[in-house]
Amino acid sequence: MKEFLQALEEKHLLRKVTQRVSASFEISSVLFSRQDQPLLFENVKDSTYKVAGNLYGSEELLSIGLEVDRAKQSLAEFAQKAISNPSPKKGKVSSFEKSVWDYSGAADLSRLPILEHFDAEAGKYITSGIVAAKYPGTDDENLSVHRMLVLSKNKVAARIVPRHLNQIAKDLDQKVPVSIMIGPPPAVFLSASLQTNYGLSEYRIANKMMGERLDLVSSELSEIAVPRDCEILLEGHLDYKEQAQEGPFVDLTGTYDEVRSQPVITIERMHTRKDSVYQAIVASTREHALFMGFPQELKIREALSKSIPKVRGINLTPAGRGYFHCVVSIEKSNDGDGMTAIVNCFAASHPLKLVIAVDSDVDPFDLAQVEWALATRFQAEKGVTVINGARGSSLDPSSGKLAVTSKLGLDATLPTKSDKSKFRLATIRKSDVANLIISSFESSEGKMAHAARSKSSSRRAI
């Protein structure tokens, strides 16, 4: 992660905050207010460690961390190649070296600058911790990101949905040894956020992304492998028989999730470096939405590749939290393609509630163009599909405790035999003089907007 921070600094994308700030609400309020700005807090009250946040608030930033040249391939293409063809090895694994850590001893979470995020949350939350656990009977690890409520100096309550880690605990029916890493390499963080098949270690995907350069070490208490250069390492065990109340917590929608009884992780050993950087993620930010939505986009892409000849773009919209609403731009070869795209999107991604299909001449990332397509190409009697009683997401407060929802599809594509000339946007030919004048206006407006933001920033609140 430090190499990534250095790369951001060299590109003048990282802003360092030197003012003394508190981990209780102050850091989170700044991160929330500047979601597109990677920040490094160098002077944190009651802590010897720095805090970094908003590191992956856009695909551009994540691409820098992964060393992806987006002029040659998209981030989705890069990730899909690694998922489809993971490395045969999870990485180079060495023995644990106590000497690389400044502190290596009994767990004491009070030493870490763990943030308090929103006013009515249950307490301090680790939001970027990756839990590594062995698949039973194998030498491979499962990696998954979980929010963790700090209960004491050595205990956290982890929100665990019924996926792989939950299955591992069921299969073992006993305490599960785990290692929790904070601040791993970007490829490891992204891989841990993906939704892969049970039994496939996310390390193999990360190792592929890193060109077979993933360097791992065995944890001190177990054979669980962790990245050699992760910033903070916690070791312990997950016990489903020990439960605690977890929540309220602000989740993806920006609303408070319900309180649940969740399993406890007891942390026995803690390892930190002298210059450790604590990675923070504030819920419901662009960074949170990216890591929630990107795996859904990959599944949608895979489904559409088998049913639609050409897809121009897929936009899991920002206002839909990158998770609930999708616009897909397609090139139709027959009149059923619009509805086929909608149905396949819903089938691939269960959280989706709204899918809008538009033609390939409509930019799915320009929501003004999307609304224009609805205004000029959409007819409700032919283009609406409603699916009731479908599986939704527990993150959606309107879906109830059973997460059952209704889904809406809007087909704003034109019939294949329609006269396209009637539906094209009109254009005006621009001369060099006109372009020069327009550029001068845009430059002036940009300066005015920046000045206005500067004046209003002190009045903003979460």
Sorted by sequence, the CB contacts under 8 Å of residue 5 that are 6+ apart come out as 14, 40, 52, 55, 277
Q: Which two tokens stand for residue 41?
A: 């807090």
Catalytic residue set:
251
Per-residue H/E/C for 31-88: HHHCCCCCEEECCECCCCCEEEECCCCCHHHHHHHHCCCCCCCCHHHHHHHHHHCCCC
| Rounded Cα distance, 421 and 56, in Å | 42
Helices (DSSP H) in 271-327: which residue ranges? Answer: 286-305
Give, in order, the Cα–Cα distances in Å from 89 to each of 58, 203, 212, 378: 29, 8, 8, 50
- For residue 385, the SS3 value is strand
SS3 301: helix
Contact of 96 with 220, CB cutoff 8 Å: yes
DSSP bridge partners of 280: 53
From 164, 196, 385, select the one nearest 302 (Cα to Cα): 196
Eight-state DSSP code of residue 140: P
Q: What is the C-alpha end-to-end distance of the chain, expressed in Å?
A: 28
Number of H helices, E strands in the chain: 12, 23
Could you identify the residue written with the tokens 């656990």? 133
